[in-house]
Structures are given as C-alpha cells and as structure tokens.
Amino acid sequence: MHGEQQHYDVLVIGSGAAGLTVALNLPASLRVAVLAKAISAEGSTFYAQGGVAAVLDAHDSVESHIADTLNAGAGLCHADAVRFTVEHSREAIQWLIEQGVAFTGEPGDEQHHDYHLTREGGHSHRRVIHAADATGRAIETTLLDRARARGNITLHDNHIAIDLITSTKLGRGDNRVLGAYVLDRKRGKVEVLRARSVVLATGGASKVYLYTSNPDISTGDGIAMAWRAGCRVANMEFNQFHPTCLYHPKAKSFLITEAIRGEGGRLLLPDGSRFMERFDPRGELAPRDIVARAIDHEIKRLGVECVYLDISHRPAEFIQNHFPTVYARCLEFGIDITREPIPVVPAAHYTCGGVMVDLNGRTDITGLYAAGEVTFTGLHGANRLASNSLLECLVFGRAAALDITARLPDLPPVDALPAWDESRVTDSDEEVVVSHNWEELRRFMWDYVGIVRTDKRLQRAKRRVDLLCSEIHEYYGNFRVTNDLLELRNLVQVADLIIRSAMARKESRGLHYTLDYPHIAAGEPQDTILVPDNSPLH
C-alpha cells in the first residue's frame, strides 16, 4: 500500500470510551476510521472496574460533585472544565443506557429503574453507577458493537500511529493536521491515512512505570505524537498511583477495585494490624494519593514486598455478588478473598496531565482534537477523583464530535501526502537494545520519579532519559520501525516530559510529592505547561 492512500473525513486514533464516543456521535454521512493498536477492545476502558461518577441520586447535587472534584484536585482544577463535565454527567449516562449498556440495578429491581450507586474515595455521596465490577468491559463491548454496526465507521485493528502529518511539517504553513503515518502491525507496512480532522484518544502513559495497572498498550503515544507535532502539554508530573494492585508474580497488572475499600475493606500490615488511621482520619477512604503514599511508606519502612487488603469480614455472598471479577481472578492465583486478605502494592494507574485542549476538545493545531486520558482538560487538577475518568471520556468525546461536525465543512479535503520513506533504513539486528532500554526506563522511572520524589532522584532520572533519548533517536533513524521501537520512542518522550514537569514544581501538591518541598507553595496555584520548540504559539 505504498502508493495507495486511504482518505477519511475523520481519523480517530484509539478505540476506547473516548474514541468510540467521538465516532458514534459524528454524523453517519462522514467517513470515519477508528484505529486500535491491538484488538479493538484492548485498552484501559475495557479493564476499568469501578464505574462512572454522575449526579443521578435525588439527594446528590451538581454542586456537591463539583466540590468533591475540586477538593481532590488540590487547587489545580479548572472550575469551568469541572462544571462543564459534571453538568453533562447525567446525559452521558443516559446516552450509554440508550446504547445498551446494562448497569447494575438495586437488588430486587428487575426493571432496572433504580441503579445501584456505589461510593468511592473522595466522594461525599454514592454517585458511581457501575456494571458489577466490570463497568469498563460493559461500556467498551457495547460501544464497539454499535460502531461495528455503523456503515460509515471503519475499525482498523492492530494499527499503531507513528506520527501526525501536519501542514507545518510539509512547509504549507497553515498549522493544520492532514492525517497520520500508521504501521499495520500484522503486515509490517506503513500506511498513509489522510483525514480532514484527527482525534487523539490514545489513553495514558502508565507503562512508563515498572508496576502499572494498565494494559501493555498504555505507552503515551498520543501525548508524544502531539508534542512532536507542536502541541503544548500540561501537568505531566501528576501520575496517579492506584493504591491496590494485586501483588503476585504471575498476575500482570490486575487492579483491585477501590470499591472494596468503599464497602469496608481494611488495609493491613503483614502482622495483621491496620495502619491507615496513622496517616489520615478517613482511613481507607482517604483519597488515592494519600493511601498510595501510606502503603509506599510502610513497604519501604518495613522492607516488605506488599501490604494486604481484607474484605473477608463481610458475608461471602455479598463479596461474590459485588466483586465477581476480583473474586474469580484472585481464586485463579489461589487466593479466596471471602476467607483471606489480598496481597497488594501501589501501581501507576492514571495520567492526570496530557495534551492541552479546550472545552471542545481542540488542541493547538487546526483540525486536531483529543479526548480522554491523553488530554489535559483541567478537570483532574493535581489528583483525579475516582470514576471521573470515564465520565471525561464521554463528555469530551461528545463535545469534540459536535465541534468537528460544525467545523468540518470549512476544512477542505486533503490532497495526496508524501509516502513514508524507508529508502535509507535496514531491518534491525539489535532488538536487545529496545528490550534493554525498555527495562531500564521503567525501572528508573519507578525508583526516581515514583510516588515519592526528591531533586536528586529527578536529576538522576533526567541524565538517564537524556541518554536514552539520543540512543533511540539514532536507532530510529537507522532501522525499520517496529511496534516495540515506536512504543519505546513514545515512552522515552513522555518520561522526559514527566521528569521536566516534576523538576519544575517546587512544592508537594496532590499526586506530586517531593521530600525536598513537602508543603504546598504559597500564592496562586500554577499549572506546569511545557511548550515544544515547534509550537505555533512561539
């Protein structure tokens, strides 16, 4: 397909809740492509256990949800983004129900008129609507079925975007996105996908860390591509670590849902004693950053490998009904959660910063939009409130679709673009370089840029990431692209953005905690905004 180029009205890079919400809210008259890096369902949405936060209960209010979000965000939330998201929460849930998502009802309510709402850390009300403990799976599979049934949407599995194509890169000067170079992972061929508008919905970058709750594909691709294309990124120092990931040598990144603590789960040291009250009066229901830091502190203080989460004091039937996924998964590893505690460690979970967008999902480049975890909308501030993430995907996905629909008539079709040039590269005989650099990156990010930071640790990390950047740049210039190389290139870029952002913040706030500046700085809180050299704003 070297000479052949595919042309679409809208190219959506990413097939999770954000990407599919965009695609399904675009008019059926538009030709839409949705790229999935692996199979379409693979991604953070599919694995999201908790649910979607929304104001659905008569005793709850928009103002209360806004207050909880602002409180969790430690002074850095943008009030307009928070209000916009929360005010659209009910219609987002209504849309999911119309698409066919089967949320869990109250016991005995066969008609599902009353949905069961759970409460998670940081929320003052029960407002998290869910489908048992596999909400993401219910949303992802339903939206995928809808997309497959639409004649105007083409799903491309096993396609990884390499880079955005912009008019600026081609010397055309009007700062517009024109499409993307994309690697078909099955055939090993690079394709040119032209599009009048492009949406980044690629998720977060937690794979930059050694321990993560995320699937393997969370490698920050969209953030890195947008940065290389000239977009600003913000608040990359705020990486949320989920306090409770299953600790087992064979259990790769299995999350133990926050709702277990919401329903009375207790955190225990190896000797069986509780410890959360020493760190926060809210105990196990303190916000995630406090819980994660407390666990990290105890693990390091005692030199142990994990702590334990115990729900076994609740009735077995209650546990099996409320947490069937966790119950079944733990049983596979020989852990019966109705009778014994679950070994847990914190793990990188959510990227609060990302590509800067406005309330319509627009980036700094004309025609380029972004939605979901890849973005910085201002909703999450310095710490994301539980279950606001899927909500953000839905609200901003819809907003982006509406804005694209309104503006697309003014964007002319894209003429033929330069083909991908492989004339000067060879197949690599040094795959070990990629795998070694991958391991080294994730280890030093965990050790030096993890839950607790210091200036010295960050300086060490910066020296290492600079070296990796130059090694990978040279490697990328000489060899044919592979999936592993592209992901590593993106991860190293994102790691550099995280380190630079962390070095710039001389305070501890929300998810960014440094021993050198343990307090919140005086004065007006500031976002950390990084501007690339090729930004149109220069």
Q: Which residues are catalytic?
A: 288
CB-CB neighbours of 331 under 10 Å = 12
CA–CA separation, 350 and 363 (whole Å)? 21
Three-state secondary structure call for residue 34: strand
Q: Give the list of residues 6+ apart from residue 334 with CB closer than 8 angstroms, or none.
A: none
Q: Give the list of residues 6+ apart from residue 60 with CB closer than 8 angstroms, or none.
A: 125, 126, 127
CA–CA separation, 386 and 117 (whole Å)? 13
Please name the residue that has the structure tokens 């277990």: 260
CB contact at 8 A, 441 and 499: no
CA–CA separation, 208 and 444 (whole Å)? 10
CA–CA separation, 318 and 299 (whole Å)? 30
Residues 44, 50, 55, 56, CA torsion sign = positive
Buried b (16+ CB within 10 A) or exposed e, 384-404: bbbbbbbbbbbbbbbbbbebb
Q: Which of 249, 467, 458, 229 is nearest to 345 (CA)?
A: 249
Q: Which of 200, 240, 233, 156 is nearest to 367 (CA)?
A: 200
What does DSSP assign to residue 22? H
Query: Helices (DSSP H) in 125-258: which residue ranges?
Result: 135-149, 221-229
Q: What is the CA radius of gyration of the chain?
A: 22
CB-CB neighbours of 359 under 10 Å = 18
Please name the residue that has the structure tokens 């299953």: 246
Strand order from edge to edge, sheet including 117-118 = 52-53, 128-129, 117-118
189-200 and 5-13: which strand pairing?
parallel
Q: Which of 497, 523, 495 is nearest to 509 (CA)?
A: 523
Residue 70's alpha-carbon distances to 80, 369, 384, 448, in angstroms, are 11, 25, 9, 29
| Phi, psi of 408, rounded to the nearest 5 degrees | -55, -40
